[in-house]
Amino acid sequence: MRSYQYLKFLQIQGIHVNVVSFLGDDYLEKLYAGRPWQWKIISKAYLRRLKSLLSYRHYDLLWIEYELFPWLPAWVEWLFCHDVPYVVDYDDAVFHRYDLNPNWCVRAILSKKIDRVMKRASLVIVGNDYLASRAKKAGARRVECLPTVVDLDRYPLSVPKTQATFTIGWIGSPTTFPYLQLVRSALSDICRQRRARLVLVGAPRVQLEGVVAEFREWSEDTEAASIQDFNVGIMPLPDDAWARGKCGYKLIQYMASARSVIASPVGVNCSLIRPRLNGFLAGSKKEWVEALSFLCDNPTESAGMGRAGREMVEKEYCLQVMGPKLLMLLREAAGRSTV
């Protein structure tokens, strides 16, 4: 979402982008299936990255997601990109992998790694103010905030379905599924008090006690259609350092689909949600139950919030608006007005 969805637009604008992924689909499949890491796959990834960087001087700009070599010191990165301008992009607080790591050795060696990568970059692009604050504190030369956005062409405007069962939706991955435990009790109460169900897209098939749930496999082709089955989209989060670095992408997906939203008042969620205009912020069980009950009992108001969310996405959180901004930033980081 931070880079791939822009590639077609950049190509049309005359920019050639060569994509060199660090890890492949085989790694992700094993990760989400809960299988142990295979060091053979990891070793090949590092070797592949080293090989790809041998020709980096032929490029005008390196566009890096997070870091070039995870778990290696910053001087290794500097060795390969010290004489070519580079842009580094963050939509997660990846620096906390190191500076909050339980292993003292990791903290001692790598706690300042991402700060050093940021400081040497021509440009640091971040997805929210929490990440921007870290980049500025690290001494980055230039910091620009570009939210994680959706392509409106993939999210056709739709009206929530009129149905007997109130559908609460969540989209995510096995790594974020545990956050739902924060609101399990509230969801259980709603399912008990009203005709309601929870639709989970991309979650492991782990039942939440007391919650009527439907599990759906995630795919790029079907995610937008799945969200259209929701009446409301939810995003519970703990109030911790990692969560404060998140960019609220699932909220933007819900709003792009013209669905009302409820989320924990953590990090960027507080900027995305305008209470009672496009959704609700809920910090306690009582607030979650009240927000869910209101949207269940007032479908007209819920639909109105969904429309307001869609309008906000059209103005501020879509590829169609952010594409030209990203293009300008990349060109400026490369040191030229045209590429």
Q: Give backbone dihedrals phi and psi of 326, rounded to 5 degrees, phi first.
A: -65, -40
pLDDT tens figures, 59-117: 899 999 999 999 999 999 888 777 889 999 999 999 999 999 999 999 999 999 999 99
Q: What is the pLDDT of residue 36?
A: 67
The confidence band for 228, taking pLDDT boundaries of 50, 70 and 90, is very high
Provide, rounded to the nearest whole percent, the portion of the chain with pLDDT above 90: 80
Region 146-150 average pLDDT: 96
Q: What is the pLDDT of residue 336?
A: 60
Q: What is the pLDDT of residue 81?
A: 79
DSSP state of 150: B
Q: What is the pLDDT of residue 285?
A: 97
Across the chain, the runs of DSSP E, i.e. the strands, are 62-65, 86-90, 123-126, 143-145, 166-171, 196-201, 213-216, 232-235, 260-263, 279-281
For residues 27 and 70, what is the distance between their CA atoms, to the nearest angstrom? 15
For residues 326 and 4, what is the distance between their CA atoms, to the nearest angstrom? 12
Q: Are strands 232-235 and 166-171 parallel, antiparallel or unpaired?
A: parallel
Q: What is the pLDDT of residue 29?
A: 74
For residue 125, pLDDT beyond 60: yes
CA Rg value for the chain: 21
pLDDT tens figures, 285-318: 999 999 999 999 999 999 999 999 999 999 999 9
Across-strand partners of 287?
none
For residue 202, pLDDT beyond 90: yes
Q: What is the pLDDT of residue 41?
A: 82
Lowest mean pLDDT among 37-51, 162-176, 314-328: 37-51
